[in-house]
Amino acid sequence: MLCKLVQRFVSTVDPAEMQRFAVYKWWNPDNVLHPFSDLRSEYIKTRLQVQNLKGLRILDVGCGGGIMSERLGRLGASVVGIDPSEEAINVASLHLPKILKGNVEYKNCELSAVDEKFDVVLASEVIEHVTDHQIFLNDLSGKVKDNGAVFLTTVSKTFESWLLGIVASEYILKIVDPGTHQWDKFINPDDLIRMCNLSGLEVHHSNGWFIDYLKFRAFFTSYSRLGYLIHCTKPQSA
């Protein structure tokens, strides 16, 4: 995969968010992204109706320290993880086991600079950190092949997400660093589905998720007022 040397003037990257995740402790064993990433991987396999991801070329957008990229690589996928944070990409590259170096590669660039289309495009807990949801989704849509899949996971904009996702997790239990999330950037399922449709993506399925911080376990639920996962496809071009 190549990243274009010249990027467009308009960017969806929030510099403040990028700086925050540049110092994020990605591979801390107490990081709740670990059990949640296992859930994401299971969702992808279930929706694609496969036991492994061999033969699939996957773009992991906003890969951070490589938590999802490594899991996808272990499932047999050919993975490209991209992130605008050079520090995060350095963490991902240093952590990558030798056994996965044939499956996973990392690039320090923005989504708009990617010069390739993929079988699957994944954006895990990313859209709530960008400056413009619709432009970001338009970019995602442009990076997936016809009939390819897009997976999004994010947080609902509800009282529950504010209470549990910010107040409890960041300031009471202190499982997540304070300031990690901004409630005004959260997005509800109906709004995200509408914007996916506007970007040329067809939404096939949505499922709620929940993280039990005390038991350090993530699981699926029909309740989507805290967070949710979405599976889309890119219809065949006319």
Locate 200 and state its tokens: 């040329």
DSSP 161-189: IIIIIIIIIIIIS--S-TTS--GGG---H
Query: What pLDDT does 238 receive?
Result: 42
Q: Please report the sign of the dihedral spanned by the C-alpha atoms of residue 233, residue 194, residue 8, residue 83.
A: negative
Residue with tokens 């998720």: 209
Q: What pLDDT was estimated at residue 210?
A: 86
Structure tokens at 145: 């092949």
Write 4-8 long-range contacts (CB < 8 A, 24+).
4/109, 4/113, 4/114, 4/115, 7/109, 7/110, 7/112, 7/113, 8/112
Residue (of 120, 124, 89, 95) closest to 107 by Cα position: 89
Residues 209 and 41: their CA atoms lie apart, in Å, by 13
| Pairwise CA distance, residues 206 & 35, whole Å | 19
Provide the pLDDT for residue 181.
67
Four-CA torsion 120, 7, 195, 38, nearest 10 degrees: 40
Residue 232's contacts (CB-CB under 8 Å, 6 or more residues apart) are 149, 150, 151, 152, 196, 201, 202, 203, 204
* Alpha-carbon span 105 to 69, nearest angstrom: 9
List b or e across 106-115, with b for residues whose CB sees 16 or more CB atoms inside 10 angstroms: bbbbbbbbbe
Query: What amino acid is encoded at 160 in this protein?
Result: E
Residue 167 tokens, joined: 């107040």
Please give the CATH number for the structural domain made up of 15-233. 3.40.50.150
| pLDDT tens digits, 188-218 | 999 999 999 999 999 999 999 988 877 888 8
Spatial separation of the C-alpha atoms in residues 185 and 231, rounded to whole Å: 20
What pLDDT does 167 receive?
Answer: 66
pLDDT at 172: 67
pLDDT at 19: 58
What does the angle CA 146 – CA 148 – CA 149 come to, to the nearest 5 degrees? 145
pLDDT in tens, the chain (238 residues): 667 654 444 577 766 655 555 556 788 888 888 889 999 999 999 999 999 999 999 999 999 999 999 999 999 999 999 999 999 999 999 999 999 999 999 999 999 999 999 999 999 999 998 999 999 999 999 999 999 999 999 989 887 776 676 666 666 666 667 666 677 788 999 999 999 999 999 999 999 998 887 788 888 999 888 889 999 999 987 4
